[in-house]
Amino acid sequence: MNVGLTLATTGRVLTQVRHDPRTIGLLILVPSLLLGLMAWIFTDTPVFGVVGPALLALFPFIAMFLVTSITMLRERRSGTLERLMTLPLGRVDLLLGYTLAFGALAIVQALVAVGFAVWVCGLTVAGDAWLLVLVALVDALLGTTLGLMASAFARSEFQVVQFLPALVFPQVLLGGIFVPRDRMPDVLNAISDWLPLSHAIEALQTVSTDATGTGTVLRETVIVAAFAVAAIVLGAVTLRRTTP
Amino acid sequence: MMNSAIEAVDLVVHRGRRDVLRTVSATVPAGSVVGLLGPSGSGKTTLMRAVVGVQRITSGTLTVLGLPAGHPRLRSRIGYVSQTPSVYDDLTIRQNLTYFGRIVGAPAADVDRVLDEVDLREEQRALVRDLSGGQQNRVSLAAALLGSPELLVLDEPTVGLDPVLRRDLWDLFRVLASRGTTLLVSSHVMDEAQRCDRILLLRDGALLADVTPAELLESTGTSDADDAFLALVGSAR
Ligand SMILES: Nc1ncnc2c1ncn2[C@@H]1O[C@H](COP(=O)(O)OP(=O)(O)OP(=O)(O)O)[C@@H](O)[C@H]1O
Ligand SMILES: [Mg+2]
């Protein structure tokens, strides 16, 4: 691990993103717009109060997953990854560099999305709104690290998109947005315990409904962070310097 | 100072089910310019990838600058230009070089030096995706020159360049070699072979010849490199 090389990579990735306004839009604005749309659809019903926090986990997660995995895939396909593998850059430096870059964007994204949900969409928050920001941030980082890992198993942008139904949608269905997890059949409930998004959604729902739930929120957030770290480690293991 | 920069002994590389390199034994003397020639699909890129440590080797030994190929300490001593330009097309030339320069730990002034060497100083603030193919190739080459590595492995670096630029780059290669850099350069252009100190000729993953340009012409009884290539590749068929 080398901090200088990691930060150089972070700076490089952020410069690339800066040259691409559409990606910035997808990361920063689209999650808020979708939240706004949901709030509008459910005007005059209590539904948004229930699903709003969960959506705060969902949209940033998916946006980060897509952008990160495609950026990393382009690195693979353009030959720059091969060049980097011949240079004195550690594999962990590369992955951490990416994570820090998208983590910085995730901070902006979380602030905008939470601010928008609370002030514009009128999402009620029983607990501390900063906790919402924290959970949304960790959740977006999870999207980033899973995206980095998934890109190792994809050969084209099309295959990256195929991971959405395979990896992401089951987590959405089992995450407790449609049916609270404790009311699911036992088997599904047990499976959902092992899906990181379930924990992110649980944390966000706890912040918004329970002013005394900080302990639960932090525990769930640590679980999400553990998944993110595991994804980086797996990503580093699957990233090989030599190819057959 | 060792006298061979690259030494392959009975090198075998399989890719998938194909034998891409079949017991290749060859040496590249330190401080020389060695041309790697051969028909398309003969294994030139595979051999170069093995030298820079990104190609898994099936058997045999490959020693680079005194260390086994792929050794971590080699990573700051070798510059590699892949066959297709490997730079970020959504960064400017200068941003690309600054990043790669930091990775190899090159002094900051190196960016300007390599920009001059590949004659791209004027365009340095252009995004790589807005450049012509030949310009993109030169950005990729410039990135490999950062930090003045001891060994340069260049996979068809002059493709898509006009004759003037090609001559300038070959002049640059000769200057680098005169300062002690070793260059392994693959090419399809036979007149470039004449400017090498030695020529390695691959066909179907086997080494056909390891000769000087003069010996190549002499042994084939031809007067130009294109004919020599045709004669050698054809006669072994
Ligand atoms: N990723 C791969 N998987 C399996 N086989 C491969 C792969 N890449 C190349 N090959 C095979 O290896 C052989 C040698 O390829 P290589 O790229 O080394 O040739 P080359 O001499 O560089 O050709 P060219 O002059 O066209 O660049 C070819 O027959 C090719 O089919
Ligand atoms: Mg090739």
pLDDT reading at A81 higher than 80: yes
Set of chain A residues whose Cβ sits within 8 Å of the Cβ of B49 = 82
Closest to B137 measured CA to CA, from B92, B185, B87, B103: B87
Backbone angles phi, psi at A219, to 5 degrees: -60, -45
Closest to A97 measured CA to CA, from A84, A110, A109: A84
Backbone angles phi, psi at A179, to 5 degrees: -130, 130
Tell me if B72 and A88 make a contact (CB, 8 A cut-off).
Answer: yes
Q: Using an 8 Å Cβ cutoff, are B103 and A84 in contact? A: yes
pLDDT of residue A176: 85
pLDDT of residue A161: 86
**Dihedral of the CA atoms B109, B111, B113, B116 (nearest 10)?**
-150
pLDDT reading at A62 higher than 60: yes
Q: How far is the alpha carbon of A168 from chain B, nearest alpha carbon, in Å?
A: 29
Closest to B34 measured CA to CA, from B172, B193, B229: B193
Least confident of A55-59, A69-73, B123-127, B147-151: A55-59
pLDDT of residue A157: 85
B160: left (phi over 0), alpha (psi -120 to 50) or beta: left
**B133 C-beta neighbours (distance < 10 Å), count:** 12
pLDDT of residue B235: 63
Q: Using an 8 Å Cβ cutoff, are A219 and A237 in contact? A: no
Tell me if A15 and B95 make a contact (CB, 8 A cut-off).
Answer: yes
Whole-angstrom Cα distance, residue B232 to residue B203?
10
Spatial neighbors of A12 by CB under 8 A, at least 6 apart, are A97, B88, B91, B95, B99
The DSSP letter of residue A164 is: I
Tell me if B75 and A16 make a contact (CB, 8 A cut-off).
Answer: no
**Residue with CA closest to ligand 1 atom 6:** B15
The reply to whether A215 touches chain B by the CB within 8 Å rule is: no
Provide ipTM, 2 decimals.
0.93
Set of chain A residues whose Cβ sits within 8 Å of the Cβ of B54 = 82, 85-86, 241-243
Percentage above 70 pLDDT, chain A: 100
Whole-angstrom Cα distance, residue A8 to residue B121?
23
Q: Using an 8 Å Cβ cutoff, are B138 and B121 in contact? A: no
Whole-angstrom Cα distance, residue A45 to residue B38?
73
Closest B-chain CA to A15: B91
Cα atoms in the 13 Å half-sphere on the side-chain side of B196:
29
Q: Using an 8 Å Cβ cutoff, are B233 and B69 in contact? A: no
Backbone angles phi, psi at A215, to 5 degrees: -60, -50
- Pocket test residue of B17, B42, B52, B55 for ligand 1, highest count of atoms within 8 A of CB: B42
Interface probe for B, chosen from A7, A80, A91 (most Cβ of B below 10 Å), is A80
Tell me if A89 and B143 make a contact (CB, 8 A cut-off).
Answer: no
Residue type, B70: G
- Pocket test residue of B13, B17, B44 for ligand 1, highest count of atoms within 8 A of CB: B44
CB of B206 sitting under 6 A from ligand 1: no
CB of B45 sitting under 6 A from ligand 1: yes
Q: Using an 8 Å Cβ cutoff, are B64 and B74 in contact? A: yes
Whole-angstrom Cα distance, residue A229 to residue B92?
32
Structure tokens at B71: 């050794």
Q: Domain locations in chain A?
A: 3-238
Whole-angstrom Cα distance, residue B43 to residue B231?
19
Whole-angstrom Cα distance, residue A75 to residue A207?
38
β-pairing, B4-15 with B59-64? antiparallel
Burial of B101 (0-12, 13-18, 19+ CB in 10 A): buried
A24: left (phi over 0), alpha (psi -120 to 50) or beta: alpha
pTM over 0.80: yes
Tell me if A88 and B55 make a contact (CB, 8 A cut-off).
Answer: no
Enumerate the β-bridge partners of residue B167: none
CB of B39 sitting under 6 A from ligand 1: no
Set of chain A residues whose Cβ sits within 8 Å of the Cβ of B105 = 88
Closest to A69 measured CA to CA, from A160, A164, A172: A160
Least confident of A66-75, A135-144, B166-175, B189-198: B189-198
Whole-angstrom Cα distance, residue A33 to residue A37?
6
Domains of chain B (ranges; CATH) run: 31-54+71-198+208-231 (3.40.50.300)
What is the block-wise mean pLDDT of chain B (237 residues), using blocks of 10 residues?
A: 86 93 94 93 95 96 96 96 95 98 95 96 96 94 96 93 91 94 90 90 91 84 74 66
Closest B-chain CA to A3: B103
Average pLDDT rounded to a whole number, residues A125-134: 90
Q: Using an 8 Å Cβ cutoff, are A178 and A169 in contact? A: no
Whole-angstrom Cα distance, residue B30 to residue B182?
5
Set of chain B residues whose Cβ sits within 8 Å of the Cβ of A8 = 99, 102-103
Q: Using an 8 Å Cβ cutoff, are B112 and B65 in contact? A: no
Inter-chain Cβ pairs, chain A and chain B, closer than 8 A: 77
The reply to whether A18 touches chain B by the CB within 8 Å rule is: no
Q: Using an 8 Å Cβ cutoff, are A204 and A132 in contact? A: yes
Backbone angles phi, psi at B7, to 5 degrees: -135, 115
Query: Which tens digit of pLDDT belongs to each residue from A211-222?
Result: 888 999 999 999
What spacing in Å lies between the alpha carbon of B22 and ligand 1's midpoint?
13
